[in-house]
Amino acid sequence: MTSVDVQTSTLDLGPARALSCRECGHQIPLAAEFACAECFGPLEVAYDFGTVTRADIEAGPKSIWRYKGLLPVPADVERFPNTDPGMTRLVKADRLAAALGVKSLWVKDDTGNPTHSFKDRVVAVALAAARTLGFSVLACPSTGNLANAVAAAAARAGWDSVVLIPSSLERAKILTTAVYDGALIAVDGNYDDVNRLATELAGEHEDWAFVNVNVRPYYAEGSKTLGYEVAEQLGWRLPGQVVIPVASGSQLTKVDKAFRELGELGLVDPTPYRIFGAQATGCSPVSAAFKAGADVIRPVKPDTIARSLAIGAPADGPYVLDSVRRTGGAVEDVTDAEVVEGIRLLARTEGIFAETAGGVTVATAKKLIETGQLDPDADTVLLITGDGLKTLDAVQDHIGPRATIPPTAAAVHEVLNRG
């Protein structure tokens, strides 16, 4: 936990006390800021946690708000309408474990969230903080899961939303955001253009909270709840190993932060854990840096079916390297063909249909085991953060019916006898 030196804010954001620069440590009062005025480093929420007990948490709501004492949200956060994400299933995955050759494996299935990805977690925290910070419009640039989550959360809260997407986005992804009836605006340009436009608009509109821009420090903290839930659902202990997909890298660093906080607060024994990052080879700047022993991430132009991970210049890449190296983990990457195989393997063994990012996680776990980087005897958790229903195009050329037959029992038997 970062200690807090500055005059604490009068805003009620629970245990949050300040924003602290990850690079230089400079602190400022809680506000809608995301970059350090001293060194331009990223700002992160710093806390003064009081006493938080397992009993307090277990008596809380069956959503991420059971951890409100560890998040930058008001004490009465659950009173305001929100999508109540979290407390998704932690599935003991014995059949996948057998297929991968590991002893004890769990899958954290975040497809059960309201819009079926982990983005509901970060958006719910961003919305709660944004309300306290005085915003009244929820906004984001996005190409998929985030757009769904922002539009749905704003609808539920009765806020206006502004969601900016590249105009080339597939129709299905447009529909799943448009249905919530916020201001969905298609921008002629690529994702970088959309992002630049969002940053410009965030500067102009003091009532617009771009969840992943001007309230990013709060938003990012939402990913800690994945770590808290894994530990609580394992019976209040840390797993030995966890494999996490890497896009911006924020999620991985926040799960690491969550595990450390739980240990420091005495909510779990601070047992050692190793954190592994998973990328698609077609967008693997963090994996490349890890393998090269470098500290600096060299940006790439993404080319992979795992579009929700296709961030070529990941902002938190260096911090991913820190987490992974400090805990004795690794970052690995897998080809698009392996991603499809990963999706199919998880579905076949556990009945969970993940989006491409989940395929990256499963396939990377497989590769880490095969290359001896992951210990097959340690308790291992895989984070599945999004839903296969949203990335049907990735599997459509690979799967289908076994056969098309006339409506007779004999024809059915023939298909089954074949194989």
Site for a second copy in 296-325 (CB under 8 A): none
Task: Report if residue 83 touches a second copy, rule: CB under 8 A.
Answer: yes
Say whether residue 156 binds a second copy (CB under 8 A).
Answer: yes
Q: Does 337 participate in binding a second copy (rule CB under 8 A)?
A: no
50 versus 158: smaller Cβ distance to a second copy: 158
Main-chain phi, psi angles of 81, to 5 degrees: -60, 130
Q: Which residues from 94-113 bind a second copy, rule CB under 8 A?
A: 94-95, 109, 111-113
Which residue from 19, 52, 152, 383 is in contact with a second copy, where contact means CB under 8 A?
152
**In terms of CB distance, is 63 or 323 closer to a second copy?**
63
Our finding on whether 338 is near a second copy (CB under 8 A) is no
Q: What angle do CA 5, 7, 11 make, to 5 degrees?
A: 120
Residue in 311, 327, 381, 387 with CA at minimum distance from that of residue 355: 387
Q: How far is CA 167 from the centre of its chain?
A: 24
Closest CA to 92 of 384, 381, 388: 381
> What character string, x for contact with a second copy (CB under 8 A) and - otherwise, covers 250-289?
----------------------------------------
**φ and ψ of 293, to 5 deg:** 70, 20
- Asked if 107 and 384 touch (Cβ cutoff 8 Å), the reply is yes
Select from 45, 73, 309, 347 the one that contacts a second copy (CB under 8 A).
347
Residue count at the site for a second copy (CB under 8 A)? 83
Beta carbon nearer to a second copy, 73 or 150: 150
Residues 42-81 that bind a second copy (CB under 8 A): 62, 81
In this structure, the chain runs to a length of: 419
149-185 burial code (b ≥16 CB/10 A, e <16): bbbbbbbbbebebbbbbbeebeeebeebbbebebebe
Helix ranges (H only) for 237-278 are: 250-264
C-alpha 239/C-alpha 271 separation (Å) is 8
**Out of 64, 100, 130, 155, which residue is the one contacting a second copy (CB under 8 A)?**
155
Which residue stretch of 1-9, 158-166, 302-310, 361-369 sits at the interface with a second copy (rule: CB under 8 A)?
Answer: 158-166
- Residues between 178 and 217 with contacts to a second copy, criterion CB under 8 A: 178-181, 183-189, 193-194, 196-197, 200-201, 204
Helices 285-292/317-327 angle, 10° precision? 50
Rg (C-alpha) for the chain, rounded Å, is 21
Dist CA 226 CA 258 (whole Å): 8
Query: Coil, strand or helix: which one is 380?
Result: strand
Binders of a second copy among 362-401, rule CB under 8 A?
Answer: 387-390, 392, 395-396, 399-401
Q: How far is CA 384 from the centre of its chain?
A: 9
Q: How far is the CB of 264 from a second copy (least distance, A)?
A: 28
Q: Which of 21, 64, 162, 339 binds a second copy (CB under 8 A)?
A: 162
When the beta carbons of 15 and 182 are compared against a second copy, the nearer one is 182
One-letter identity of residue 250:
S
Residue 235 lies near a second copy (rule: CB under 8 A): no
Of 10 and 408, which CB lies nearer to a second copy in the complex structure?
Answer: 408
Nearer to a second copy, 147 or 242 (CB): 147
Asked if residue 142 binds a second copy (CB under 8 A), the reply is no
Does residue number 361 form part of the binding site for a second copy (CB under 8 A)?
A: no
Nearer to a second copy, 180 or 276 (CB): 180
Strands 137-141 and 330-334 come out as unpaired
Q: Looking at 22, 116, 224, 254, which residue binds a second copy (CB under 8 A)?
A: 116
Give the x/- contact pattern for a second copy in 14-43, rule: CB under 8 A.
------------------------------
Q: Cα(85)–Cα(108) distance, rounded to whole angstroms? A: 14
Half-sphere exposure of 419 (CA within 13 A, CB side): 4
- By CB under 8 A, residue 419 contacts a second copy: yes
